[in-house]
Chain A
């Protein structure tokens, strides 16, 4: 089936199987920044934005993005670069497999809730697992980034 949507601001038309998930469609199309950590919406590594809202693309049918806007980290390069500096300062960049998903998530959080409390930040990112950092450095980096420090 043919699905038409905007990918990072550009109109695309993908020929996908009816039951295909957005993660697979994007990676098959060549967008490899979206990662497959699991296949059950439990780890968050496949996060993309659909109409600026984070979704887990491993369990989001591609057919659902018809007419919508899909954003991957390629569309927020400057922001990702800036966030990485905060991650670096806190020692939060390790294996990085989950990092692009975090960048998208933080981008969405910033738009939804520009001045989140600590608990609100944690609630927002709790579904994105990380096995490297112990989370505290990551959390401090995100907090500093959102605070513009």
Chain B
């Protein structure tokens, strides 16, 4: 393992103390005291056309400042997805529309002096709906007689298979080799179908935004966003206000997980403030967070896998159907990740096929969510691999060891599948997956515990395993940048567009800068995610921050080091290559100057100027982190209730820049994935209303449901990453559905084909088997 001074050392996060002490840092903490409060009137119908909307009485209600409806807002189609430009998501959304497409869709926005007035006024809005027949079963969406998007003015930005008249938001097909031919040659073929649900992000801080006009009459928006620069661009294009008139600031964000990549209240705040010249704010209720933001894309994934007697997996066929809900945000890209971030795990196959459609339904829209298709794909692929192992009569771990990705290998999928477009070929310069599998097996004591052991009169314990991969940013697309300027006294002001949403990127980037400049963390002052003050960054998504923004920070720090050495050489009147810099002192022969002295000279005394650099980075590859995961669960054989005993992960994410934060990402991901696997049931009423719209009805894991988490990292170094790092933000979430599904099979011999895996489903499957 390489030795570092700051990187890879246990370093407290730069902001943990202030946050724990309650310093005001989050979006709504910073809202202007007198801001107009915006509340949103939402559709009670899953699908309807607004025949008429009368706001005259509501507007007269004392204290109401402004009411927005589809009749008085710009009618420009856009996507809220919060992606780069041009977006791979269809432009199928209007700020407000004549049609409402799910229970909870926006009908009108009321801005008033306070919440109470806004809510009272809202009751006075008269809406006449033409109720339409909703599409609530995503398997019946294609060519349904109800069409969600019959309107004009919507379009795709480039070909993504967008066919709105058929309720298809996007479609994709790819094939390497000939899957049908290869399957015919196989000695063992298994097939199965898996369903996953519309998981909610359920981050603790609800979506919030507020807006004001500053003394330059520019629009300043604070938002709980993961993508401030994309927000600025999208808002500008949609409401017709130039980019230079808009400033987006992301303060502290209380959890994102993809759910804050997109637009939520920001458009309304912008319009209300521009129209009233008054500050405004919009904070979602918890019910709105659950029912009117985004979910994970529910999917049906049909798998067919074939292997030959020699133990080789020869062909994989993966056919998926994804439900994007009312709008097509992230429709194609999440879908493609199902294939592109799972199927390369088994890179020795002769043929692999992936394809299907992403369809519109009258459900809450789906969007970005940690894992981004990989968790759905992982559930299906890693479950069917166990099924195949059983049919072949081989050990499921051995099957994985023999057929999975190794270092210096590749998969043709990398070249074929990218982010809505073609991908990028790459060799795995770092891949410790074989080690991860082996080490995890030891840690869980697989050989002692597999497949199942009786531990009590009616309790048994079983184990399950899965492997996973993800990516590190989007190559050739995502860009991060970093500016560093020297302060007098020898500290550094670092500004980055990178978006800390609680994952700790401000800390990680500070560590990278401190390491390269040979200084300590207290000498690095970081300020991030303000479109006026920080250089561009695509934002926090696609596991990009440590790799993309971290590389940008590393480039900037390297440049700063060069600059400082040159400054010192000029000052000492020596040759540049004779100067050595240890982080606090420059030495050349018997001459020396401290950074502190040099900085003061350059600020106040001699050849005065600001020493500053800005550098950027975009990846040419997206090196995947890898993981092997093993779970041990205890089941009650009478009630089928179960609990997690141990969950082992061994992760190859290259160098862990901050080992504790990396562990936090893995464990947080595991438990969020375990929630999806075990308890986060999504229930709609027959008319399409989300019933699981509170923490009471939608059960995310609590401290009592978490077993012993054993989280280790492989010794690995990614040559293209900052100090050898790859991403670690998403991969943790991928394995729990398959691990639990496989453990349930090992316990009872039944396979559960839909998430979450509830005691009820296990009971029914066991009963059916008997």
User: Which residues of A approach B to under 8 Å, CB–CB?
Assistant: 32-33, 35-40, 42-43, 45, 72-74, 77, 80-81, 83-85, 87-100, 102-103, 122, 125-127, 129-139
- The answer to whether residues A97 and B254 also contact, given A91-B660, A136-B706 and a CB cut-off of 8 A, is yes
- The answer to whether residues A96 and B20 also contact, given A37-B286, A38-B695, A137-B663 and a CB cut-off of 8 A, is yes
Chain A residue contacts of B345, Cβ below 8 A: none
Asked whether A87 lies within 8 Å of B672 as measured between CB atoms, the reply is no
Asked whether B704 lies within 8 Å of A122 as measured between CB atoms, the reply is yes
Kindly provide the distance from the CB of B339 to the nearest chain A CB, expressed in whole angstroms: 28
Give me 29 A-to-B residue pairs in the complex whose CB atoms sit less than 8 angstroms apart, sorted by A's number: A32-B26, A37-B204, A39-B285, A40-B695, A40-B696, A87-B20, A88-B12, A88-B13, A89-B10, A93-B16, A93-B20, A94-B255, A94-B661, A95-B204, A96-B19, A97-B26, A97-B204, A97-B254, A102-B20, A129-B700, A131-B201, A131-B203, A131-B668, A134-B664, A135-B701, A135-B702, A135-B706, A136-B709, A137-B664
B72 at the A interface (CB under 8 A): no
Asked whether A84 lies within 8 Å of B670 as measured between CB atoms, the reply is no
B516 at the A interface (CB under 8 A): no
8 nearest A-B residue pairs (beta carbon): A95-B502, A33-B22, A97-B254, A91-B660, A96-B19, A134-B667, A93-B16, A134-B671
Asked whether A80 lies within 8 Å of B21 as measured between CB atoms, the reply is yes
Chain B residue contacts of A134, Cβ below 8 A: 664, 667-672, 706, 709
State which of B255, B672, B696 has its C-beta within 8 Å of the C-beta of A42.
Answer: B696
Kindly provide the distance from the CB of A38 to the nearest chain B CB, expressed in whole angstroms: 4
* With A73-B22, A132-B664 already in contact, 6 other A-B pairs whose C-beta atoms are closer than 8 Å: A36-B206, A84-B16, A91-B660, A95-B203, A95-B254, A129-B702
Chain A residue contacts of B253, Cβ below 8 A: 95
Q: In the bound complex, how far is the Cα of B13 from the Cα of A85, in angstroms?
A: 9
Chain A residue contacts of B708, Cβ below 8 A: 136
B330 at the A interface (CB under 8 A): no
Asked whether A91 lies within 8 Å of B663 as measured between CB atoms, the reply is yes
The B643-662 residues at the A interface (CB cut-off 8 A) are: 659-662
Kindly provide the distance from the CB of B289 to the nearest chain A CB, expressed in whole angstroms: 9
B173 at the A interface (CB under 8 A): no
Kindly provide the distance from the CB of B201 to the nearest chain A CB, expressed in whole angstroms: 8
Q: In the bound complex, how far is the Cα of B16 from the Cα of A90, in angstroms?
A: 12
Asked whether A133 lies within 8 Å of B664 as measured between CB atoms, the reply is yes
A139, closest chain B residue (CB): B703
Asked whether B16 lies within 8 Å of A129 as measured between CB atoms, the reply is no
Kindly provide the distance from the CB of B658 to the nearest chain A CB, expressed in whole angstroms: 8
Asked whether B22 lies within 8 Å of A132 as measured between CB atoms, the reply is no
A19, closest chain B residue (CB): B116
B401 at the A interface (CB under 8 A): no
Chain B residue contacts of A90, Cβ below 8 A: 660
Chain A residue contacts of B29, Cβ below 8 A: 32
- The answer to whether residues A133 and B704 also contact, given A74-B22, A83-B20, A98-B204 and a CB cut-off of 8 A, is no
Asked whether A138 lies within 8 Å of B663 as measured between CB atoms, the reply is no
Q: In the bound complex, how far is the Cα of B18 from the Cα of A77, in angstroms?
A: 10
- The answer to whether residues A37 and B205 also contact, given A97-B254, A135-B703 and a CB cut-off of 8 A, is yes
Q: In the bound complex, how far is the Cα of B503 from the Cα of A53, in angstroms?
A: 31
- The answer to whether residues A80 and B20 also contact, given A94-B503, A137-B664 and a CB cut-off of 8 A, is yes
* B interface secondary structure, majority: loop
Kindly provide the distance from the CB of B501 to the nearest chain A CB, expressed in whole angstroms: 7
Q: In the bound complex, how far is the Cα of B702 from the Cα of A126, in angstroms?
A: 6
- The answer to whether residues A35 and B668 also contact, given A81-B20, A89-B10, A96-B20 and a CB cut-off of 8 A, is no
B422 at the A interface (CB under 8 A): no
Chain B residue contacts of A122, Cβ below 8 A: 703-704
State which of B13, B23, B694 has its C-beta within 8 Å of the C-beta of A93.
Answer: B13
Chain A residue contacts of B360, Cβ below 8 A: none
Asked whether B700 lies within 8 Å of A131 as measured between CB atoms, the reply is yes
Q: In the bound complex, how far is the Cα of B252 from the Cα of A83, in angstroms?
A: 20
B15 at the A interface (CB under 8 A): yes
Chain A residue contacts of B662, Cβ below 8 A: 91
Asked whether A45 lies within 8 Å of B22 as measured between CB atoms, the reply is no
B504 at the A interface (CB under 8 A): yes
Q: In the bound complex, how far is the Cα of B148 from the Cα of A97, in angstroms?
A: 37
The B479-506 residues at the A interface (CB cut-off 8 A) are: 501-504
- The answer to whether residues A91 and B204 also contact, given A33-B24, A80-B22, A135-B701 and a CB cut-off of 8 A, is no
Pick the most buried of A74, A83, A91, A130: most chain B CB atoms within 10 A of its CB: A91
B286, closest chain A residue (CB): A38
B202 at the A interface (CB under 8 A): yes
B2 at the A interface (CB under 8 A): no
Q: In the bound complex, how far is the Cα of B19 from the Cα of A85, in angstroms?
A: 12
Chain A residue contacts of B252, Cβ below 8 A: 95-96
- The answer to whether residues A84 and B663 also contact, given A43-B695, A74-B22, A129-B700 and a CB cut-off of 8 A, is no
Kindly provide the distance from the CB of B724 to the nearest chain A CB, expressed in whole angstroms: 20
Kindly provide the distance from the CB of A107 to the nearest chain B CB, expressed in whole angstroms: 12
Chain A residue contacts of B640, Cβ below 8 A: none
Q: In the bound complex, how far is the Cα of B252 from the Cα of A138, in angstroms?
A: 20
> B706-741, CB under 8 A of A: which get 1 and which 0?
101100000000000000000000000000000000
B635 at the A interface (CB under 8 A): no
Kindly provide the distance from the CB of A48 to the nearest chain B CB, expressed in whole angstroms: 11
Q: In the bound complex, how far is the Cα of B25 from the Cα of A95, in angstroms?
A: 11
Q: In the bound complex, how far is the Cα of B285 from the Cα of A84, in angstroms?
A: 29
Q: In the bound complex, how far is the Cα of B704 from the Cα of A98, in angstroms?
A: 17
Chain A residue contacts of B24, Cβ below 8 A: 32-33
Asked whether A94 lies within 8 Å of B20 as measured between CB atoms, the reply is no
Asked whether B17 lies within 8 Å of A131 as measured between CB atoms, the reply is no
A123, closest chain B residue (CB): B704
Asked whether A131 lies within 8 Å of B703 as measured between CB atoms, the reply is no
Chain B residue contacts of A80, Cβ below 8 A: 20-22
Asked whether B695 lies within 8 Å of A42 as measured between CB atoms, the reply is yes
Chain A residue contacts of B202, Cβ below 8 A: 131
Q: In the bound complex, how far is the Cα of B19 from the Cα of A84, in angstroms?
A: 9
Asked whether A130 lies within 8 Å of B204 as measured between CB atoms, the reply is yes
Asked whether B702 lies within 8 Å of A132 as measured between CB atoms, the reply is no
A125, closest chain B residue (CB): B703
B162 at the A interface (CB under 8 A): no
Q: In the bound complex, how far is the Cα of B706 from the Cα of A39, in angstroms?
A: 25
Q: In the bound complex, how far is the Cα of B696 from the Cα of A98, in angstroms?
A: 17
Pick the most buried of B669, B695, B703: most chain A CB atoms within 10 A of its CB: B703
B346 at the A interface (CB under 8 A): no
Chain B residue contacts of A139, Cβ below 8 A: 703
Chain A residue contacts of B257, Cβ below 8 A: 131
Q: In the bound complex, how far is the Cα of B285 from the Cα of A4, in angstroms?
A: 29
Q: In the bound complex, how far is the Cα of B661 from the Cα of A99, in angstroms?
A: 16
Chain A residue contacts of B706, Cβ below 8 A: 134-136
Asked whether B21 lies within 8 Å of A73 as measured between CB atoms, the reply is yes
State which of A35, A126, A131 has its C-beta within 8 Å of the C-beta of B26.
Answer: A35
- The answer to whether residues A81 and B21 also contact, given A91-B661, A137-B664 and a CB cut-off of 8 A, is yes
Chain A residue contacts of B703, Cβ below 8 A: 122, 125-126, 130, 135, 138-139
> B225-258, CB under 8 A of A: which get 1 and which 0?
0000000000000000000000000001111110
The B164-209 residues at the A interface (CB cut-off 8 A) are: 201-206
Asked whether B704 lies within 8 Å of A94 as measured between CB atoms, the reply is no
State which of B23, B255, B660, B668 has its C-beta within 8 Å of the C-beta of A88.
Answer: B660
Chain B residue contacts of A129, Cβ below 8 A: 204, 695, 700, 702
State which of B17, B204, B286 has its C-beta within 8 Å of the C-beta of A84.
Answer: B17
Chain B residue contacts of A131, Cβ below 8 A: 201-204, 255, 257, 668, 672, 700
Asked whether A99 lies within 8 Å of B19 as measured between CB atoms, the reply is yes
Chain B residue contacts of A92, Cβ below 8 A: 664
Chain A residue contacts of B204, Cβ below 8 A: 35, 37, 43, 45, 95, 97-98, 129-132
Q: In the bound complex, how far is the Cα of B694 from the Cα of A113, in angstroms?
A: 31
